[in-house]
């Protein structure tokens, strides 16, 4: 496949195909990011994953990606209001990424205005992930170039709306829209483009690739799982995330206990309980993603598992999606 698929998004970024490999803690390893970019889509780096899971300082990791591909890549910044230390870390990541030549940022949670301000000094592009109009409004007020709508079928923190409803919800903002969540098969890419989305973002689909650093067990669990095996649990980070149902998930249930819930709801304690859960989650997800499932772990995945039937290369994922899109227009 050689001919580009030109959309507002692929033109803004100067990439061949409007296909993004979403940032994943803990599954985004530099080889996967580079492979998706090299294939003509764009891989997005998750800096915390780079530093804590794959143990490369962000700058070294970005240089490593650059040694694997000349094509553009992106960096994910989760800009939620948390501790000052966390905010400083995100700012440092932004500066390093800009210095290393990154010109595409995917922000999630919180307000991305400070990212946009800095990114615009060098004409970098910023897209913000959101699930509802109220989040999109904040991001657009901050000047983002586009929105990544996460549907109810997504991995990680899923949204609440279908692909169609989300399109209606976000269209009034008059910025290009990318569809994320639940896309695992080529015909779903075509459906998103036909609906008016300017591209797609997939995460779960790219876990089941040769280049992803996740354990073989995890990849096979994604291939085996059907949509009904995906449940939302609060027991990893305190807020619901999509995971594959396992005997352990059944045993512990999907809700946090009453004390934790009280702490999450209380203004004085919600900051530290969130930090505590995130620290534990980071460690647990690292173990399960690299070493395979122990009896007390979780595998994150979206309902996109229903469209995933084999472990292949990142390039063949991109190629098969592009081929389907070309077939659909011919």
Ligand X SMILES: Cc1cc2nc3c(=O)[nH]c(=O)nc-3n(C[C@H](O)[C@H](O)[C@H](O)COP(=O)(O)O)c2cc1C
Element (H, E) at 184: none
Query: Helix, strand or coil for residue 330?
Result: coil
Interface residue with ligand X among 146, 181, 282, 307 (CB under 6 A) is 181
End-to-end Cα distance, the chain: 14
Interface residue with ligand X among 76, 198, 209, 306 (CB under 6 A) is 76
Say how many residues make up the chain. 330
Interface residue with ligand X among 154, 176, 186, 282 (CB under 6 A) is 154
CA–CA separation, 279 vs 305, rounded Å?
27
Residue 10 found at the interface with ligand X (CB under 6 A): no
Phi, psi values for residue 176, rounded to 5°: -60, 145
C-alpha distance from residue 79 to each of 12, 142, 162 (Å): 23, 13, 25
Query: What's the closest the beta carbon of residue 180 comes to ligand X, in angstroms?
Result: 4
CA–CA separation, 148 vs 44, rounded Å?
13
Window 105-134: contact mask with ligand X (x via CB under 6 A): ---x--------------------x-----
Interface residue with ligand X among 29, 204, 233, 306 (CB under 6 A) is 204
Residue 24 found at the interface with ligand X (CB under 6 A): yes
Strands 199-202 vs 230-233: parallel, antiparallel or unpaired: unpaired
Interface residue with ligand X among 74, 156, 238, 307 (CB under 6 A) is 156
CA–CA separation, 119 vs 22, rounded Å?
19
Query: What's the closest the beta carbon of residue 259 comes to ligand X, in angstroms?
Result: 27
Residue 22 found at the interface with ligand X (CB under 6 A): yes
Binding-site ranges for ligand X (CB under 6 A) = 22-25, 27, 46, 76, 78, 108, 129, 150, 154-156, 180-183, 202-205, 300-302, 304
């Amino acid at each position: 496949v050689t001919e580009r698929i030109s959309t507002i998004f692929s033109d803004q970024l100067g990439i061949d195909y409007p296909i993004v490999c979403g940032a994943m803690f803990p599954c985004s390893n530099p080889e996967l990011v580079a492979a998706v970019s090299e294939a003509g889509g764009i891989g997005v780096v998750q800096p915390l994953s780079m530093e804590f899971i794959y143990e490369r300082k962000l700058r070294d990791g970005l240089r490593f990606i650059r040694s694997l591909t000349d094509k553009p890549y992106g960096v994910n910044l989760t800009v939620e209001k948390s501790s000052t230390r966390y905010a400083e870390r995100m700012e440092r990541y932004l500066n390093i990424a800009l210095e290393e030549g990154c010109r595409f940022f995917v922000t999630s949670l919180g307000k991305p205005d400070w990212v946009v301000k800095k990114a615009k000094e060098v004409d970098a592009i910023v897209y913000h992930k959101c699930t509802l109009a109220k989040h999109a409004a904040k991001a657009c007020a901050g000047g983002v170039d586009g929105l990544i709508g996460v549907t109810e079928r997504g991995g990680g923190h899923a949204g609440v709306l279908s692909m169609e409803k989300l399109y209606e919800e976000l269209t009034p903002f008059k910025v290009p829209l990318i569809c994320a969540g639940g896309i695992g098969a080529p015909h779903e890419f075509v459906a998103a483009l036909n609906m008016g989305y300017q591209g797609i973002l997939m995460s779960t689909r790219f876990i089941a690739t040769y280049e992803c650093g996740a354990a073989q067990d995890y990849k096979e669990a994604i291939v085996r799982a059907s949509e009904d095996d995906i449940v939302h649990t609060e027991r990893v980070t305190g807020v619901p995330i999509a995971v594959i149902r396992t005997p352990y998930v059944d045993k512990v249930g999907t809700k946090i206990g009453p004390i934790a819930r009280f702490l999450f709801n209380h203004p004085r304690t919600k900051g530290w309980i969130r930090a505590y859960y995130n620290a534990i989650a980071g460690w647990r997800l690292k173990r399960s993603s690299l070493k395979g499932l122990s009896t007390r772990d979780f595998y994150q995945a979206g309902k996109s598992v229903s469209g995933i039937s084999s472990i292949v290369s990142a390039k063949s994922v991109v190629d098969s999606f592009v081929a389907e899109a070309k077939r659909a227009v011919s």
